[in-house]
DNA sequence: GAACTAATGCAACTTCAGTAGCAATAGCGT
DNA sequence: ACGCTATTGCTACTGAAGTTGCATTAGTTC
């Protein structure tokens, strides 16, 4: 956590608060930073409010009051992470775009720091409706942004008109998620390219 | 839990025990049955050893000693569920087979009783290595059994020779898992057929 | 059927997640 | 600058998860 990112978070997300003063934002920043740190160090299984509170210097009662528990913290952290602007890569071909998206996705989840929050929220979604809703919103937004790659492919004539872009993206990333969190198999570059190639083949066949 | 299934479980899974006598098997049956019942009623989030112990009439110390905790119970329950023989459907076409597999999968996870154990193990795999290993073994076995559908398609000449059957199956089911547990979107029959069709199209294009 | 021992039952204890009530503090408006 | 109040800090409490040591029961073996 650099000082710049700290200040950045302090400026953002002050909506809906009756008193968005310096202290409120300060505690939020400290708690979320501590959450990320604890998550990266110990993982979701051992993520506890007490540790986060102690690490952030904020009392645990405050954390329980504002976030309700670990799930709430994760939801807030996910919203924070997805706040920044993000645009899909543009390599010139649909296969290239989807491959790049998949590679970025895999790299993100493989990295113990960057992947900790999304992984934890996926796990928390099994228990918490709030986490489930946050996940859905996050990925719908992501797929919407990625769909432009398919739109470009349609304009190039590579893919039938009327193809649902978000569906193609979903199909492209699904095998990676499947290996990572369902069948729990190792995932490599071969899976990245194969999944993208399969989505392209299905799209060209007019499945979506 | 019918009496027949109880007796069936009592007969099975007696390997590796130093004293596989009647009582040991009896407590195991009672505890696993209680686990399934608790899971179906309250879900994984509220699944607790104490409740299971109380419901089964077995002391909680015994449960902790033999299974170590909730995760161990789920692993054992999953092994129990996957013990029975299962063969992939044979409809005459690859698309039909994959669609049938997907439909069965979705129905299984949608049903609150039948889907409770697999769902819980997927969730537990985020915390427990034992659950993760059990999941991997379970699905590898499942995909192996489903791969015969692709083998038949190769023999019919519908799909290029050398196609990896398990990969096709993975690709076919992945979008369903993705909607169910990652993006948390509603899943319907349209998704079942579309995912199967996409896998077929990619397989025919020689991706796998 | 009698001794042996694996497996279970039992009670007490420790630890920790989460809550409640009240005191203290710091931002906000005048 | 001064009061108001949202927010946080603090202490103590409740309840549940999980552990430990020992007593008891029930299969197994001879």
Residues A47-105 pLDDT 10s: 999 999 999 999 999 999 999 999 999 999 998 888 778 899 999 999 999 999 999 99
Hey, which residues 161-200 in chain A have their CB within 8 Å of chain B?
A: 167, 170-171, 173-175, 177-179, 181-185, 194-195, 197-199
Looking at residue A5, what is its pLDDT? 33
What does the block give as tokens for B204? 């025919």
Looking at residue A126, what is its pLDDT? 94
A24 has pLDDT over 90: no
What gap in Å lies between CA A189 and CA B138, rounded to an integer?
24
- Quote the minimal CA–CA distance from A177 to chain B in Å: 7
* The total number of residues written for chain B in this structure: 208
With residues binned 3-state (H G I as helix, E B as strand, rest as coil), the percentages for chain B, rounded to 5, are: 70, 0, 30
A19 has pLDDT over 70: no
Torsion of CA B108, B110, B111, B112, to 10 degrees: 120
In this predicted model, what pLDDT tens digit does every residue of B153-194 receive, in sequence order?
999 999 999 999 999 999 999 999 999 999 999 999 999 999
Q: Round and report the angstrom distance from CA (B121) to C1' (C26).
A: 47
Task: Indicate if CB(A27) is under 7 A from strand D.
Answer: yes
Q: What percent of chain B has pLDDT over 70?
A: 90
SS3 B89: coil
- In this complex, the residue with its CA at the shortest distance from the C1' of nucleotide C9 is B59
Q: Is A157 exposed, middle or buried (0-12, 13-18, 19+ CB in 10 A)?
A: exposed
String of DSSP letters for A163-206: --HHHHHHHHHHHHHIIIIIS-----HHHHHHHHHHHHHHHHTT
Contact A36, A1 (CB under 8 A): yes
- Who has greater pLDDT, B205 or B20? B205
- Who has greater pLDDT, A43 or A191? A191
String of DSSP letters for A101-161: HHHHHHHHHHSTTTTHHHHHHHHHTTT-HHHHHHHHHHHHHHHHHHTHHHHHHHHHTSS-T
Looking at residue B10, what is its pLDDT? 34
Looking at residue B67, what is its pLDDT? 94
What count of CB pairs under 8 Å joins A to B?
123
Phi/psi for A102 (5° steps) reads -60, -40
Interface touch B136/A199, C-beta < 8 Å: no
A34 has pLDDT over 90: yes
Looking at residue A23, what is its pLDDT? 73
A12 has pLDDT over 70: no
What gap in Å lies between CA B206 and CA A94, rounded to an integer?
18
Task: Identify the band that residue A18 occupies on the pLDDT scale cut at 50, 70 and 90.
Answer: low
What gap in Å lies between CA B165 and CA B149, rounded to an integer?
8
What gap in Å lies between CA B192 and CA B52, rounded to an integer?
35
Interface touch B136/A170, C-beta < 8 Å: no
Interface touch A127/B127, C-beta < 8 Å: no
Phi/psi for A90 (5° steps) reads -130, 95
E strand or H helix that includes residue B70? helix B70-81
E strand or H helix that includes residue A56? helix A49-56
What gap in Å lies between CA B183 and CA B169, rounded to an integer?
20
Structure pTM?
Answer: 0.89
Disruptive mutation site among A126, A169, A195, A200 for chain B (greatest number of B CBs within 10 Å): A126
What gap in Å lies between CA B196 and CA B116, rounded to an integer?
24
What gap in Å lies between CA A2 and CA A6, rounded to an integer?
6
């Amino acid at each position: 956590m650099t000082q710049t990112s700290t200040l950045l978070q302090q400026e953002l997300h002050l909506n809906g608060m009756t008193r968005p003063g310096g202290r409120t934002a300060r505690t939020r920043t400290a708690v979320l930073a501590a959450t990320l740190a604890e998550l990266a160090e110990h993982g979701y299984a051992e993520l506890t409010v007490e540790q986060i509170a102690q690490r952030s210097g904020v009392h645990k009662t405050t954390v329980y009051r504002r976030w309700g528990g670990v799930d709430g913290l994760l939801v807030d952290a996910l919203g924070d992470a997805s706040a920044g602007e993000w645009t899909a890569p543009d390599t010139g071909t649909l296969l290239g775009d989807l491959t790049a998206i998949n590679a970025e996705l895999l790299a993100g989840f493989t990295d113990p720091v960057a992947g900790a929050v999304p992984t934890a929220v996926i796990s928390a979604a099994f228990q918490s409706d709030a986490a489930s809703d946050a996940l859905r919103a996050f990925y719908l937004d992501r797929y919407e942004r990625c769909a432009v790659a398919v739109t470009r492919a349609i304009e190039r004539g590579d893919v039938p008109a009327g193809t649902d872009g978000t569906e193609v993206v979903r199909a492209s990333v699904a095998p990676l998620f499947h290996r990572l969190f369902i069948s729990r198999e190792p995932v490599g570059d071969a899976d990245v390219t194969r999944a993208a190639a399969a989505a392209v083949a299905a799209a060209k066949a007019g499945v979506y």
